Amino acid sequence: MNPYFATACAGAVLAASTGAVSAHHSFAMFDQEHQTELAGTVKEFKYTSPHTFIVFEVKDKDGNAELWNLEGGSPSAISRDGWSAKTVKPGDELRIIVEPLRSGAPGGSWNVNRIKFMDGRPVVPKAEEPKIDGVKAEGVKAEGAKGE
């Protein structure tokens, strides 16, 4: 096989696949300018690739239940923030700041830094920054941190 032909074929495959990849990672469907706080109950937490989802029941103005489908980060990304498949479970009552769907449908995107239990507790407590004499210690690992 001609090496130039093989290179051209590989380039064509790469060019054809980049559109699908970039389209998949678009956040254009979410209204990032008008974040909304939702209060409700977890119906289901889907810890699946490529994105996690929370099926969230929210009461509308008339008290009727409305299910919101909320798209989160990938399991590998949110696991770095301490999340696992068992972090939230059906019945958990949460407050979530979401970027709603532009279409107006009940859905949106969520981020691990904008989700708390109803009482204000973080879903995953952050590890306390190491301090020396009450001052944040730059470059010092917390006791028990990985890599020690």
**Residue 137: its pLDDT value, please?**
52
**Residue 28: its pLDDT value, please?**
86
**Residue 91: its pLDDT value, please?**
98
**Residue 126: its pLDDT value, please?**
74
Nearest to residue 9, comparing CAs of 1, 135, 48? 1
Half-sphere exposure of 144 (CA within 13 A, CB side): 3
**Residue 101: its pLDDT value, please?**
96
Nearest to residue 29, comparing CAs of 104, 111, 112? 104
CATH number for the domain formed by residue range(s) 36-117: 2.40.50.140
Q: Which residues of the chain have pLDDT under 50?
A: 5, 8-10, 14-23, 142-148
Domain ranges of the chain: 36-117
